[in-house]
Amino acid sequence: MRLFNKVAIVGTGLIGGSLALFIKKNKLAGEVVGVARHKASLAQAIKMKAIDRGSLSLDIIKGADLIILATPVDSIIALRKEILKNAGKDCVVTDVGSTKEKIVSLLGKDFKNYIGSHPLAGSEKRGIENASQDIFKDSLCILTPTKKASKKALGKIKSLWLKTGSRVVILSPEVHDKALSFTSHLPHIAAFSLINSVPLNFLKLSSGGLKDTTRVALSSPLLWQAIFLTNRNDLLSALAVFEKNLRMIKSAIKNNDRKTLTRILSQAQKKRSILE
């Protein structure tokens, strides 16, 4: 069932490319066009049948009734005025960025029907070559609509994500950013700091534990510095909580306090078991 006439994906990487593939495979749009910074990405996206046409210029998004912004979060913000120039007045606009408050407050002013999206899918991998139409299946997608966005626009975006197999939750950008500072941004900070703490010559004396705990440190530095910096205040608060918890364990170890240590670890084990 066709949901849109022309969908424009700005940023045909892992997430943008995967969503493009899904839309094309399921014929949800009459046409899918893509914008990227490199010709090779566009050629690959066309080869994989993720988009019908591509361009290095934003001109190509003209006439779209859905624009999906899938670049790093700082680029979404930087590109907004140029996108506005090329976007139709009634066009529905969404993004797939990992932080929402800054993006939605700025782009919500520019666009009549702005609905933030954050699909909690993908991995530390990047690029259209890792894209797949299935990555959203059974994952969570958080929507953060602006107040002025029409019900019809929200309905269409929600319908698109539900079709991908995502569960959809609607939150305010503020609650989204606070929650994700704990459940996503803080774990990335921990992983980056953890691997940086391990002396190089000890790396070979490790097992699955270190690998699991630091897997997300393989993520793109450019993507993640922007995520951290667009969610600064929430992230600094989450970091303070983490540091407090570290100090509690440290003090129990320092004082040989087996009882407190066991209580802290048991609490953690119990909480972690909720996750799966």
* 243-272 positions binding a second copy, by CB under 8 A: 243-246, 248-250, 253-254, 256, 258, 261-262, 264-269, 271-272
CA distances from 57 to 96, 203, 223, 230 (A): 20, 44, 21, 26
CB 104 within 8 A of CB 173: yes
**Interface stretch with a second copy, choices 61-69, 102-110, 151-159, 194-202 (CB under 8 A):** 194-202
| Residue 90 or 212 with smaller CB distance to a second copy | 212
Q: Does 224 bind a second copy (CB under 8 A)?
A: yes
CB 50 within 8 A of CB 22: no
Would strands 66-69 and 53-55 be described as parallel, antiparallel, or unpaired? unpaired
Q: Give the contact letters, 66-105, x = binds to a second copy (CB under 8 A), - = no.
A: ----------------------------------------
Options 92, 121, 131, 149; binder of a second copy; rule CB under 8 A = 121
Query: Got the DSSP string for 4-54?
Result: EEEEEEE--SHHHHHHHHHHHHTT-EEEEEEE-SSHHHHHHHHHTTS-SEE
Please, what's the largest Cα pairwise distance for the chain? 68
Options 46, 140, 154, 168; binder of a second copy; rule CB under 8 A = 140
Q: How far is the CB of 81 from a second copy (least distance, A)?
A: 21
Q: Does 273 bind a second copy (CB under 8 A)?
A: yes
Q: How far is the CB of 12 from a second copy (least distance, A)?
A: 22
Options 139, 154, 163, 172; binder of a second copy; rule CB under 8 A = 139
| Residue 132 or 139 with smaller CB distance to a second copy | 139
Binders of a second copy in range 163-192 (CB under 8 A) = 169, 176, 178-180, 182-184, 186-192
| Residue 48 or 217 with smaller CB distance to a second copy | 217
Q: Does 137 bind a second copy (CB under 8 A)?
A: no
Burial of 190 (0-12, 13-18, 19+ CB in 10 A): middle
Residue with token string 């320092």: 254
Cα–Cα distance, 220 to 210 (Å, whole number)? 19
CB 47 within 8 A of CB 66: no
Burial of 215 (0-12, 13-18, 19+ CB in 10 A): middle
Q: How far is the CB of 198 from a second copy (least distance, A)?
A: 5
Q: Does 106 bind a second copy (CB under 8 A)?
A: no
Q: How many residues bind a second copy (CB under 8 A)?
A: 85
Query: Of 49, 63, 64, 48, nearest to 9 (Cα)?
Result: 64
